Chains A and B, each alone.
Chain A
Amino acid sequence: MTFTLAIRNLFHDRIRLVVTLVGILFSVVLVAIQLGLYTGARTMIISMIDRSNADLWVMAYGTKNFEEAQPISARARYAALSTPGVASATPLVAGFTDWRKPGGGSTLVVVIGADYDEGTLAPWNIVEGDLTGLGARDAVMIDRTYLDELGIKKVGDTAQVGASRVRVAGLTEGIRSFTVTPFVFTTFSRARSLLEMPADNITYVLVKLSDGADPQRVQEILRQRLPDNEVLTTAEFRDRSLNHWLFATGAGIALIGGAVLGLVVGTVIVAQTLYSSTKDHLTEFATLRALGSSSGYIHKVILAQAALSALLGYILGMAIALAVVWSTENSALPIMMTPWLAGLLLALTVAMCAVSAVSAIGKVMRIDPAMVFNR
């Protein structure tokens, strides 16, 4: 009957229920958006690194993230190839340059070039055209999200990058940059040309290890052989990029801070309404005490009220949050919702409502049961 009593108490005062649910809903939506932005940002930051299939990355010293890398000598590739335990070492160039729109104006882009037949970092989620199309003269591939920003309407349109003309040979979907700078995929040699990079320069060497090779051991040898470069495992490079964008720049802290604020606001609203509901039903709780109910029985009623509020608020909040997620799906700054995040939000909502119940439980525990005789 604790559940029955809880549900009846909740629905007895509809206005208070609405206030409670709006508080939880507001909190769920705010936290979902903040954490969804964080998840989206995280995915964008590490997508190139995770998609590389590399075990080790050779790069310029002090490289903080994928996009902002200085050139290194192309000889690093050969040093890597001659290292025991290395199965392949493929060069990759990446760098910022200007994209001049066909209709006028320009925007900054990140050009990424690799030899795709070597199984290295290649565009994915291709929705128009294919990788072989990049072999054609001036061919590049861009993401559908950035069509407007790049002044492109369809595959086949042309633009100018540096001093060279490029033609859009294919489109991807969902390959977005955290810096909101569009990625432009092309071949290794064309990228070097677009970036006006000297022939003996590259940006990264993506190293794949032979079966059974010890990554730490190979990493150590490579560090000794390439003292002017930095050699990181994929996990290390991923962590470094995340730390830079999310924590060194403060962007992630702002997002997490917003989520915490949402939780605090939600907790305060739910605590207020639950406390006031409990206060209104104080005589009933005193009657329960007089009837001989244990403290645990009364706690269960209040916690069931909190849990029910949490569940209802979560369902409504998630419905709105999913609509927001859906509306930003194709934007430059997508809000992402994963099953893990949905589970975390549910746990946070329940925890928030349980914490909110503490003040109400405290109030009930201070009841003088003799008040049942004084009404």
Chain B
Amino acid sequence: MMASETAEVVAPPTVVLEARNIVKELGQGAGKVRALKGVGLTLNAGELTLLMGPSGSGKTTLLSILGCILTPTEGTLTIAGQSTTGLSPEELARLRRRSIGFIFQSYNLFPTLTAEENVRIALDVRGERGSQATVLAQRALQRVGLRHKLKSYPSNLSGGEQQRVAVARALVGAPAVMLADEPTAALDSENGVAVMGLLAEIAKDKSRAVLAVTHDPRTFPFANRILRIEDGLIVGEERRAEGVETVHELARTRKRKANA
């Protein structure tokens, strides 16, 4: 028998986002600050990566650049195979709606739209409308466990439910990269764990990478990888041995302990 037929072949991870030597200067003249000083990172499909660091370390600036909201002063960024160098604001917006899903700390739901409409609007900006968009929005809400809250307005949803609607909104367009900014910061322990479990579950999709900026230690067990940023530079990377299944087990154990 040939070796290739007996040994299990482990495919290299698919890189869906690659940032090289990202530098970002903010402000002008004497007030100019170098918020990022040459950050390089990759996000792999199927992984939940946490980005941690103290306040002012450049987390949010990096997230804004990876999400094509800010453009780097120097460096290159490639998302889903497309380089962002030289793209106009409208082309960057197109890349965002095709390839990036956002989850915000304060959910950023539209208070005047129902949960279903809040999800559907992410499809609407992509030009996907009609009954197919409704079905996709309902499926996304079903996936986050809110099938029964389709017609609820954000004001009638708990913080955890609102964040799950935001996850569904980020998910509905099937983006290659999901970027979450402190997704558990405004949530209590139980809802925080539930949302992180959801993100870990979503990250299991082999075509998608999830990056969450956090300082919440409750999120650590869910991560495949933790990046540490300090003073505008990535200073450490920790790859966790546990798979997502194990992470779920940890979460369940924590919940059992809490209930006991």
Q: Report A's interface with B, CB cutoff 8 A.
A: 1-2, 4-5, 8-9, 11-12, 283-284, 287-295, 297, 369-370, 372-375
With A283-B108, A373-B60 known as contacts, the answer to whether A290 contacts B117 (CB < 8 A) is no
With A370-B70, A373-B63 known as contacts, the answer to whether A292 contacts B108 (CB < 8 A) is no
With A1-B117, A5-B112, A8-B113 known as contacts, the answer to whether A372 contacts B90 (CB < 8 A) is no
Contact string against A for B residues 89-119, beta-carbon threshold 8 Å, 1 for contact and 0 otherwise: 0100111111010101110101111000100
With A1-B124, A370-B69 known as contacts, the answer to whether A292 contacts B63 (CB < 8 A) is no
In chain B, what residue has the closest Cβ to A371?
A: B69
Contact string against A for B residues 160-187, beta-carbon threshold 8 Å, 1 for contact and 0 otherwise: 0000000001000000000001000000
**Distance, CA A215 to CA B29, complexed state (A):** 78
**Distance, CA A372 to CA B93, complexed state (A):** 15
Which residue in B70, B94, B112 is a CB contact (below 8 Å) of A12? Answer: B112
* Chain A proximity of B53: nearest CB distance (Å): 14
Q: Report B's interface with A, CB cutoff 8 A.
A: 60, 63-64, 67, 69-70, 90, 93-98, 100, 102, 104-106, 108, 110-113, 117, 120-122, 124-126, 129, 169, 181
Given contacts A5-B110, A292-B100, A375-B104, 17 further A-B contacts (CB under 8 A): A5-B112, A284-B108, A284-B110, A287-B104, A287-B110, A290-B67, A291-B102, A291-B121, A292-B97, A293-B93, A294-B93, A294-B125, A295-B90, A373-B181, A374-B60, A375-B105, A375-B108
Contacts of B106 in A (CB 8 A): 375
Contacts of A289 in B (CB 8 A): 69, 93
Count the A-B residue pairs with Cβ separation under 8 angstroms: how many? 81
Contacts of A11 in B (CB 8 A): 112
Contacts of B104 in A (CB 8 A): 287, 372-373, 375
Which residue in A5, A294, A372, A375 is a CB contact (below 8 Å) of B102? Answer: A372
With A4-B117, A8-B112, A375-B105 known as contacts, the answer to whether A293 contacts B69 (CB < 8 A) is no
**Distance, CA A125 to CA B106, complexed state (A):** 71
Contacts of A294 in B (CB 8 A): 90, 93-94, 125
Contacts of A283 in B (CB 8 A): 108
Q: Are A292 and B69 in contact (CB under 8 A)?
A: no
Contacts of A374 in B (CB 8 A): 60
In chain A, what residue has the closest Cβ to B89?
A: A295
**Distance, CA A290 to CA B97, complexed state (A):** 8
* Chain B proximity of A16: nearest CB distance (Å): 13
Contacts of A291 in B (CB 8 A): 96-97, 102, 121-122, 125, 169
Q: Are A288 and B102 in contact (CB under 8 A)?
A: no
Which residue in B64, B113, B120 is a CB contact (below 8 Å) of A370? Answer: B64
Which residue in A12, A297, A375 is a CB contact (below 8 Å) of B125? Answer: A297
Contacts of A4 in B (CB 8 A): 113, 117
**Distance, CA A2 to CA B122, complexed state (A):** 12
